[in-house]
């Protein structure tokens, strides 16, 4: 998986269709979309760069806001690992090299079907990263998405995560 997509509950099949159609338009005819056992959550595996996919969908929304109806949030994932605190720590520390020396960061954890301790994960990761923390306006977000026994990890700018509703709302202001 290199994309996590959220949608309204019980509209997973429509979201799957929409996502496959969008990624097909972008040139990935071999995309694999999976509806998870968690309501409103899908994962996708695309040959395309997940961060580029988010940018292209954002551009698409700005041109035709109605073209994306079911996908609510689209989150790029750079690495998938087993849901275990040591694995998560190791992977995040590896990816943290993407944070430049003078950049600030924040750790965001989203857990579904997991009883791992967010506090413990944050403490272990934060101990290993020397950059300054900024909870309000970080340059980079260390994102840990725990979906049961699988965890997706990414180092992203805030603009790399797409919320279709926020994007549409910002257009009407």
Dump pLDDT digits (tens) for 146-173. Answer: 999 999 999 999 999 999 999 999 888 7
Mean pLDDT by 10 residues, the chain (173 residues): 97 98 96 96 97 96 94 98 96 95 96 96 95 96 97 96 93 81
pLDDT at 172: 80
Topology adopted by domain 3-76: Alpha-Beta Plaits (3.30.70)
CATH class of 79-156: alpha beta
Phi, psi at 60, each rounded to 5°: -60, -45
Exposed / middle / buried, residue 103 (Cβ in 10 Å: 0-12, 13-18, 19+): middle
Same fold, 3-76 and 79-156: no
Sequence ranges of the domains in the chain: 3-76, 79-156
Q: Confirm whether pTM is higher than 0.85.
A: yes
């Amino acid at each position: 998986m290199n994309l996590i997509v959220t949608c309204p509950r019980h509209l997973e099949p429509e979201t799957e269709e929409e996502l496959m159609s969008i990624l097909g338009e972008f040139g990935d005819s071999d995309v694999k979309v999976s509806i998870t056992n968690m309501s409103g959550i899908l994962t996708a595996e695309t040959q395309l760069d997940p961060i580029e996919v988010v940018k292209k969908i954002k551009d698409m929304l700005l041109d035709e806001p109605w073209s994306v109806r079911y996908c609510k949030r689209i989150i790029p994932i750079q690495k998938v690992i087993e849901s275990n605190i040591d694995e998560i720590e190791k992977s995040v520390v590896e990816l943290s090299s993407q944070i430049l020396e003078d950049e600030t960061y924040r750790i965001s954890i989203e857990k579904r079907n997991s009883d791992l301790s967010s506090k413990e994960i944050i403490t272990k990761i934060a101990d290993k990263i020397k950059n300054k923390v900024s909870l309000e306006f970080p340059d980079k977000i260390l994102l840990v998405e725990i979906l049961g026994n699988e965890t997706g990890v990414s180092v992203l700018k805030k603009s790399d995560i797409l919320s279709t509703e926020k994007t549409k709302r910002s257009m009407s202001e």
